Amino acid sequence: MPAITQFVDVSFIDGGGMKVSGLYGFLRRTFGLLATAAIFVVVASAFVAPFAGNARAAAVWSVEVDNNAFSPSTLMGVQVGDTVTWYNNDTVSHTVTSYPPGSVPLDSPTLSPGETWSYTFTSDGTYEYYCTIHTTMRGTVVVGGVIPEFSSSLFVVASMLVLIVGLIALRRRR
């Protein structure tokens, strides 16, 4: 009767109880143990990371208004619940107003030099805005999209695949 290890290669994880001796045997057993530990940690992180992302504290972002321009002109990485604060560092007044005219939700009062205005975003989307005084001044806030924590868990999963493929390649070389 064929052993189950023919189908599930246990030796990859625990050395398979094969009688290997000397430095090679030591390395092989050590690699098996390390691989087991690494895979466990990596899989656990991959599951935990997205929840850590959900628990992320609300952030405050800054957009500088100077020289008749919003900077950055496109602000990315904002998540629902985050607040964006516009700082008028210019020598003239500006507004932060959703574009096209009449759209929502951005609708600041006129900001004199030195004044700030904040808005907390409540839903994902791409928010274009402009200054009603200098109508060619445009800006964009992108809310939602790729969550940094999620992409780091994708990185972890990719690393895990590289590790597994690497270990399989190592085994096949002998």
Instruction: Return the number of the residue (35 or 137) whose C-beta is nearest Cu ion.
Output: 137
What are the DSSP calls for 81-115, one per residue? T-EEEEEE-SSS-B--EESSTT-SS-B---B-TT-
Question: What is the nearest approach in angstroms of Cu ion to the Cβ of residue 120?
Answer: 22
Instruction: Return the number of the residue (123 or 136) whose C-beta is nearest Cu ion.
Output: 136
For residue 51, the Cα-to-chain-centroid distance in whole angstroms is: 12
Distance CA 84, CA 34 (A): 45
The phi, psi pair for 97, rounded to 5°, reads -135, 130
Work out which of 63, 78, 131, 156 binds Cu ion, going by CB under 5 A: 131
Distance CA 11, CA 21 (A): 15
Question: What is the nearest approach in angstroms of Cu ion to the Cβ of residue 95?
Answer: 6
Work out which of 38, 133, 147, 164 binds Cu ion, going by CB under 5 A: 133
Size of the site for Cu ion (CB under 5 A): 5
3-state SS, residue 24: helix
Confirm or reject binding of residue 138 to Cu ion (CB under 5 A): no
Work out which of 12, 20, 76, 134 binds Cu ion, going by CB under 5 A: 134
Instruction: Return the number of the residue (49 or 65) whose C-beta is nearest Cu ion.
Output: 65
Distance CA 103, CA 156 (A): 41
Instruction: Return the number of the residue (45 or 98) whose C-beta is nearest Cu ion.
Output: 98
Instruction: Return the number of the residue (36 or 74) whose C-beta is nearest Cu ion.
Output: 74
* Beta-ladder partners of 63: 86
Which residues 68-127 are close enough to bind Cu ion by CB under 5 A?
94
**Angle of the 148-172 helix axis to the 22-54 helix axis, nearest 10:** 160
**With CB under 5 A as the contact rule, which of the stretches 6-14, 33-41, 129-137, 158-166 interacts with Cu ion?**
129-137
Q: Give residues in contact with Cu ion (CB under 5 A).
A: 94, 131, 133-134, 137
